[in-house]
Amino acid sequence: MDDRKKVVQDFIENKTPSRVPTGFWHHFVSFHNHHMGLKDTQVRKDVIQGQKDYIDQTQPDFVKIMSDGYFGHPAVLDNSIENVKDLKKVKSVGENHIWINEQVENVKEICDYIDKQLLTYYNVFSPLQYIRLKFEELDENFEIFTRLFFNDPDAMINAANEIEQDVKSLIDKLFTETNLDGIYYSVQSVQGKRADDAFHKTFVEPSDLSIMEHIKKYTDNIMIHICGYGNYTNDLRRYVDYPAKVFNWATATENVSLHEGKEIFRGKPVLGGFDNKPESILYNGNDEELKDYIYGMLDAAGTKGVALGADCTIDPSIKPERLERIREIARMYSEK
């Protein structure tokens, strides 16, 4: 195989690499277990081993190290939060908390396993996402986050600011104690008509930018994931000025193609193009359909600063050979 690291470096520098790189990843435990890393040692073992097996089996162009097991901030997991007043229970756990240190240990193990052969990114959520995901994935309560947020935006932001301190401590340790190359930063607009542009600018953007500027103390190698799925959508224009090098969004959910996104994000590198839903061409298209789809995307978007990937995580049942075929078709396109 060619120099995967060089191919990805050219992509993130908005050059035309020798071939279009690809980036796919999936979870290694169930949604509930996304939050159980500190409570169940088997979750941690499964994620680390799963990550290593995925690297060996798929030989990816770069590695997004999954944070499965640590989606839930301890102050959100360990407190009952049912009303606005309960948000005051959310406090920083401090830079030496096991929630931070275990993540750093996990990342170090995976980075050491890769031994600088590939570029590595770690999945970090925005502070607000750590709150939302606990409510929705673990509690399966899909209305409380927006209800509390709209009832008292300042209370929600105060809670997020406490988590922000710990996210920054995590970032500090990731870049001083591991060989990590970059951050895959996952964000989402608050869902609901009340969360208009002004709401986003006032209550969401400041925390996002604070985290991203903190990352930039160590590296500008930030991939931003604007998370959309199902009925969860985002106005991509809100993220145009975010200081990311690479932009990834749900092309199917947002109905914004790679080509259109490249224009929205002022020509910066973009990653994606494949709908990750079970009925999509990613899983079901035959070889000719897959080739036509990839060639069509690249005809429109070009190959400068473009990488192929999915709207979000893919199903773990997908065969490594399928992902390799996508990479091979992208190579064929670059060589034609």
* pLDDT score, position 83: 97
Share of the chain above pLDDT 90, in %: 99
Q: Report the C-alpha gap between 106 and 261 in whole angstroms.
A: 33
Share of the chain above pLDDT 70, in %: 99
**Region 88-109: what's the mean pLDDT?**
98
* pLDDT score, position 1: 52
Q: Residue 309: is its pLDDT beyond 80?
A: yes
**Region 231-235: what's the mean pLDDT?**
96
Indicate the number of domains in the chain: 1
157-188 pLDDT, tens per residue?
A: 999 999 999 999 999 999 999 999 999 999 99
Band of pLDDT at residue 114, cut at 50, 70 and 90: very high
* pLDDT score, position 231: 93
* pLDDT score, position 116: 95
Of 170, 284, 186, 281, which is closest to residue 232 (Cα–Cα)? 186
Q: Report the C-alpha gap between 63 and 23 in whole angstroms.
A: 8
Of 193, 204, 197, 264, which is closest to residue 231 (Cα–Cα)? 193
Q: Residue 113: is its pLDDT beyond 60?
A: yes
Q: Report the C-alpha gap between 175 and 185 in whole angstroms.
A: 15
57-89 pLDDT, tens per residue?
A: 999 999 999 999 999 999 999 999 999 999 999
Q: Which helix (H) or strand (E) holds 210?
A: helix 205-215
Averaged pLDDT of the chain: 97
CATH number for the domain spanning 145: value is: 3.20.20.210
- Nearest-Å Rg of the Cα atoms of the chain is 19
Q: Rounded to two decimals, what is the model's pTM?
A: 0.97
Dump strand ranges (E) for the chain: 22-23, 63-65, 120-125, 182-187, 222-226, 246-249, 270-274, 306-310
Domain limits for position 82: 4-335
